[in-house]
Structure 1
Amino acid sequence: MSDRGGPVWTIVLAAGGGTRFGGRKQFFDLGGEPLVAHPVRAAWAASDGIVVVLPGDGDSDPDGLATPGVLTVPGGASRAESVRAGLATVPRDAAIIVVTDAAHPLASADLYRRVIAEVRAGADAAVPGLPLTEVVKAVRPEPGPGGTERLVAGASLVRETHRLVQTPHAFRADLLRAVHAGAPEAVEDSAMVTAAGGRIVVVPGEPANIHVTTPDELAMARLLLTHVRQMRSEGEPDEYGTGRVRAVR
């Protein structure tokens, strides 16, 4: 088992093609710098080193990432392949590996510290999660044009037992490497750790740590960042109605 008092490395996934967004969102502007620069900067407050996984075709602009301790590596055709590209670059003496993505640019440095602290304390992994504040129902498509859907009768309310999971995720390094041995495919790493019998704890997430998947969500992230920076310039604390947020500069 890894020495959990050892180094912490963060893998920032930024190799996506931006199919849903309509372009590589990781390089779109957010507050005067590329979106991907924000999780890199936040992770620095809690990490000994960072690996940024970029598109494998070389058609990327890593300006602003050329900082001592920040390594870049080309990603793969899938998320799991990109994680493994990052793992191959992380030094073997890393005790804890954090996996995050460019699509969560407003996660605070404190959120990184909290998931890392849980693994230091004995968890196999830790993820941030938010309670569901709306009713969740199962639906099925309605026949005909228009894209309407119909509620499925008897669908259960899952607010009490489910959480919206964000990044960053922290893992015991040896376990994360073990579940990726054999090059499996998975949507995300915590599912593989759970399948391997690992204990994953959930820490409180941050409501402003939005997942940027559409241009509308990027516009929301810009508004949130502008608001936080204004509060900081006025000497206000970084806590407000949407949760604890620290501006990433």
Structure 2
Amino acid sequence: MTFSVVIVAAGAGTRAGPGQAKQWRPLAGKPVLRWSVEAFLAAGAAEIVIVTTADGEDALAHVLSGLRGWRAARGGATRALSVQAGLAALCDRPHDEPVMIHDAARPFVTRKIVDDLLEALANADLALPALAVADTLKLSAPGAPLRTVSREHLWRAQTPQVAPRHKLLSAYAAWASGEPTDDAQVVEAAGGRIAITPGDPLLTKLTYPEDFAMAERLADAARVTRVGQGFDAHRWGPGEEVWLCGVAIKHDETLIGHSDADAGLHALTDAILGAIGEGDIGDHFPPTDPRWKGASSDQFLKHAVDLVVAKGGALVNVDVTLICERPKIKPHRQAMRERLAEILSLPIDRVSVKATTTEKMGFTGRGEGLAASAVVSVETPA
């Protein structure tokens, strides 16, 4: 089932303490908002609308660098107005397509949450995840003694909450009772049927400063680190330049291959594919396919990165070693690092390029060819 997403990210988040709004703050090395966007893309979202402020629109290109399938919309003065702005931005989507409305401050969305919601929507007008209230509840009203309140039949509503787009639009159009606290309340008021699916404690909402310390610990439990390695070699042949790590170097020979024979990018592509269990470069770009004759290898690398993102993952760092007697790599090493950082959307301090020789031994030592090895680390959902 196709679905779209509206992520509400226009709030100031003043209760979270001084500094950036909480959706832009780093959580385990990346902005809070990015966690949700990656998760929805991995779950198969057809389109994601990020509803934010004018300043937020300027920040999105950096915060979501390397991700596709999203667009921005300008938020309103209230959450309800921001949700409606997001729904309006999806006007080119089917009117009955399910739309998940999600708070950016809930970073740990899972594929199971999404799948459960879509399944529950078959028999409801809106579905939401919720947790049964486990703590004893106390009511402290001004001028009244403290008393215990029954927790029976009480639920803690979470997001995302999903409903067909046209039902959300009509429910919001009919709403006239002040500011709603969530989308389910609006659909309830319009007479809609609400379904509850199992919530997830990881879907906690970041509200106060202490919530971020807890979220950092949860992030460790929600992610796994994978390591991949790659190796590639090409022989030398007649030519005037060689491509290495995305940089053209003038040389009296070139590397021979079906594509541009960039051994550095090939090794790095294989390392990324290996880290996520997606085979090797030949599986995705067969050397027998004429489409890849002379192709620039950066598109192979970008494809591997897209597969990581599709799994809800992210590259952490990469390390490439070029093995050759010549050309000299050191004069070009910084340019290679900068080019890799650009392709991979990584800070340059997470990109390493090194070179070594084999002390005249073997095929690289005899000048018959050049080899490259690469190691990468990738974080993906557990």
What is the one-letter code of the residue matched to 1:21? Answer: A
Q: Deviations over 1:51-94 (max 9, x none)?
A: 01112455752124253320111111100110011011113415
Which one of 46, 49, 55 corresponds to residue 47 of structure 2?
A: 49
Q: 1:12 aligns with which of 7, 13, 18?
A: 7
Q: Which residue of 1 aligns with 2:170?
A: 178
Aligned match of 1:197? 191
Structure 1: distance between partners of 2:189 and 2:173 = 14
- Is the CA contact 1:106–1:248 (under 8 Å) kept in the aligned structure 2? no
Quote how far apart the aligned CAs of 1:40 are. 1.0
* 1:156 matches 2:149: yes
Matches within 5 A, 1:1-249: 7-22=2-17, 23-44=20-41, 45-58=43-56, 61-62=59-60, 63-65=62-64, 67-90=67-90, 91-94=92-95, 95-119=97-121, 121-141=122-142, 150-152=145-147, 155-158=148-151, 160-181=152-173, 184=176, 185-230=179-224, 248=381
How far apart in 2 are the matches of 1:98 and 1:89? 14
Separation in 1, partners of 2:197, 2:132? 11
Q: Which amino acid aligns with 1:173?
A: R
**CA shift for structure 1 position 28:** 0.3
2:57/2:72 contact within 8 Å kept: no
Give CA-to-partner distance per residue, 1:92-143, whole Å, 9 cap, x none: 4151110001111012122122112211x2311101111111111211247x
**Displacement after TM superposition at 1:13 (Å):** 0.6
TM-score normalized with structure 1 length: 0.81
Structure with the bigger percentage of helix: 2
The Cα shift of 1:157 comes to 0.8
Pair 1:27–1:151, CA change in 2 (3 A): same
| Structure 1 residue 215: Cα displacement | 1.4
- Max Rg structure: 2
Does the aligned pair in 2 maintain the 1:73–1:86 contact within 8 Å? yes
Q: Deviations over 1:20-55 (max 9, x none)?
A: 112400000012111001111111113111001112
Judged with a 3 Å threshold, the aligned counterparts in structure 2 of structure 1 residues 141 and 247 are, in CA distance, closer, same or farther, namely: farther
The residue identity in structure 2 corresponding to 1:202 is: I
Deviation for aligned residue 1:182: 5.9
C-alpha displacement at 1:214, in angstroms? 1.0
CA contact (8 A) 2:10 2:56 kept: no
Instruction: Give the distance between the partners of 2:134 and 2:50, measured in 1 at CA.
Output: 33
Question: How far apart are the structure 1 equivalents of 2:56 and 2:39?
Answer: 25
1:118 & 1:247 partners in 2: Cα distance? Answer: 27
Residues 175 and 189, structure 2, Cα contact 8 Å, conserved in 1 = no
Count how many residue pairs are aligned between Structure 1 and Structure 2.
Answer: 222
TM-score, structure 2 length as denominator? Answer: 0.54
Question: Which SS does the other structure have where 2:170 is aligned?
Answer: helix
What is the root-mean-square deviation of aligned Cα atoms in Å? 2.4
Could you tell me how far apart the structure 2 residues matched to 1:59 and 1:201 are?
34
Distance across 2 between alignment mates of 1:233 and 1:69: 25
Residues 177 and 217 of structure 1, relative CA distance in 2, 3 Å threshold: same
Give the distance between the partners of 1:141 and 1:31, measured in 2 at CA: 41
1: CA distance, partners of 2:149 / 2:22: 35
CA distance in 2 between partners of 1:171 and 1:79 (Å): 17
RCO comparison, higher one (Cα < 8 Å, 6+) = 1
